[in-house]
Amino acid sequence: MTDTDPIVITPSGEIDLASAPALRESITEALAESASTVLVVDLADVTFMDSSGLTCLAFAHQKMQERDGRVEVHNANSSVRKLITVVGMDQVVEVRE
């Protein structure tokens, strides 16, 4: 892996109060391993996400800003996508199919 490949993390299941700390941890670890300026959070296997998940995305966004990079959210299901949109997180991270 080179530093130009995007960093990809693929959480699964439910992202809530209980599981969000682990997601934050894996974001921190992934960022420590690569200097890439693109972080892809692939939510294809995430069935549910609440505001705790949004705090992880905000955290990721903040960390990527520090290296002039960006966060992309891929494959969010419709309810996750709705949450991201209501909060306005789609104006901060790039939401893609």
Residues that bind other proteins (CB under 8 A): 16-18, 48, 50-52, 54-55, 58-59, 61-62, 65, 79, 86-89, 91-92
**Centroid of chain to Cα 35:** 16
Q: Least Å distance between CB 52 and other proteins?
A: 8
Q: Least Å distance between CB 2 and other proteins?
A: 28
Q: Least Å distance between CB 65 and other proteins?
A: 8
Collect all residues with Cβ–Cβ distance below 8 Å to 53 and sequence separation of at least 6: 15, 16, 20, 23, 46, 80, 83
